[in-house]
Structure 1
Amino acid sequence: MTLANDLLLHGALVLILLAGALLLAGVWRGPTMLDRAIAVDVAAVLIIAGIGVDAAFTRSRYYLSIMLVLAFLGFTSSVAIARFIAARDRASAKERP
């Protein structure tokens, strides 16, 4: 690999780690359940991006199927959380006079 590739991959890894640190702060501070659900979805994206950087660094195609499965799980968890929040909001709206 060339020096430019190494620098770009290390730069991408640093940005992913920085985004992960900011994400943890957002999860800790998030005032609503929806904010935390979005943070979990972003965490899945950051994990996939980190695996992608590792796959590019090692030049391995083995990780691509793992990335696909994680993307599917992240999507289905986002949909499940959204349905849970929608059902909870509907139930609380019926209780109000």
Structure 2
Amino acid sequence: MRTASDLLLNAALVLLVIAGALLLVRVGRGPSMLDRAVSVDVAAVLIIAGIGVHAAMTYTRYYLSIMLVLSFLGFTSSVAIARFIALRDRPRTKERP
């Protein structure tokens, strides 16, 4: 049974590397700031997934707390970027005299 799990974990690792390569293409070609912000958020998810695959391959639980902290930081950065873009793109109202 260990061979099947090793095969699946290696397949997951290969898919994560392919997704990372496609992500770099998207970051480079992203036409807007929002596309690049979403790409950075996906990069955080890919890093967390890669750590999870590594933890499963080495049979360690020590990486789970690191994954939790990184997921919190990824969520916080996504909210901060969304607020920054929303404030920047807000239409300006004319002031009344």
* CA deviation map 1:8-33 (0-9, x unaligned): 00000000000000000000000000
Work out the CA distance in 1 between the residues paired with 2:24 and 2:93: 34
> What is the TM-score when the length of structure 2 is the normalising length?
0.94
> Counterpart in 1 of 2:9?
9
Give the CA RMSD over aligned residues: 1.3
* CA deviation map 1:53-88 (0-9, x unaligned): 000000100000000000000000000000000000
Percent of paired sites with the same residue = 74
SS at match of 2:92: helix
Alignment length (residue pairs): 94
Q: Structure 2: which 5+ runs fail to align?
A: none
Q: Which protein shows a greater Rg? A: 2
Q: Structure 1: which 5+ runs fail to align?
A: none
4+ residue runs of structure 1 moved beyond 4 angstroms?
Answer: none
> Counterpart in 2 of 1:63?
63
* Structure with more helix by fraction: 1
SS at match of 2:31: coil
